[in-house]
A and B are shown apart, each in its own frame.
Chain A
Amino acid sequence: GQNIDQPTEMTATEGAIVQINCTYQTSGFNGLFWYQQHAGEAPTFLSYNVLDGLEEKGRFSSFLSRSKGYSYLLLKELQMKDSASYLCAVMDSNYQLIWGAGTKLIIKP
């Protein structure tokens, strides 16, 4: 079966750095997405990786290793507004998105 694993919850301190991991086992691979979802709101797109390596976008970076079935989202200079759930999703060989359950990130002052 297809599976996306990510930690259920993480806690970090304002101003610090946090890394949220995602491992996947899917039927084929056509890209990996990270979305941010604030409580009670819709998910919003953060990043897309299809090739191995690091993609940097401001305070957020996303890394992919296809051989290891692994990705991480790195958030730097954490702000209180970064408190949210972070969803990892993989597009399989049929171009269908398989979603992880999400990681709830709690930022403490």
Chain B
Amino acid sequence: DADVTQTPRNRITKTGKRIMLECSQTKGHDRMYWYRQDPGLGLRLIYYSFDVKDINKGEISDGYSVSRQAQAKFSLSLESAIPNQTALYFCATTGEGDTGELFFGEGSRLTVL
């Protein structure tokens, strides 16, 4: 089983719909991240969390919200999806004190029509 699991893996939705992407990890890490990846661009950080009570905005948080339900779970929501949020979304974790190596989930491909 994967250490970092994302659901759904693929989702097609319509403009204005609310979407939730879920992430769970079995690595016991405190730090969790949500990134989006677009063709020709680097990974861009949406939100990150260093523990259950700590949530921080990344460089592109507008239009997104997150919830850290437990150490192992970190979900990303699009309250009202728009077409330019069509992208590949990755959840990642890292442990405190590590070199910063990120462990990524398999990705969630979201298409907003």
Contact = CB atoms under 8 A, between A and B. Distances in A.
Interface in A31-51: 31, 33, 35, 40-45, 48, 50
A42 B42 contact: no
Interface residues on A, range: 20 to 34
Contact of A102 (B42, B44, B99, B101): B42
A33 B104 CA distance: 14
Given A41-B107, A42-B90, A42-B105, A99 B100 contact: no
Given A42-B90, A42-B105, A42-B106, A95 B100 contact: yes
A42 to B, nearest CB: 4
A101 B100 contact: no
Nearest to A101: B42
B101 A99 contact: no
Interface in B84-113: 90, 99-107
B40 A42 contact: no
B70 interface: no
A87 interface: yes
Contacts of B43: 43, 87, 89, 97, 99
Contacts of B40: 8, 101
A45 to B, nearest CB: 5
B52 interface: no
A101 B45 CA distance: 13
A33 B42 CA distance: 13
Contact of B100 (A4, A40, A44, A48): A48
Contact of A42 (B41, B44, B99, B104): B104
Interface of B: 40-45, 90, 99-107
Which A-B residue pairs are the 6 nearest by beta carbons? A99-B42, A42-B104, A99-B43, A45-B101, A48-B99, A101-B42
Interface of A: 4, 8, 30-31, 33, 35, 40-45, 48, 50, 87, 89, 91, 95-102
Given A44-B104, A48-B99, 4 more contacts: A42-B90, A43-B102, A97-B45, A101-B42
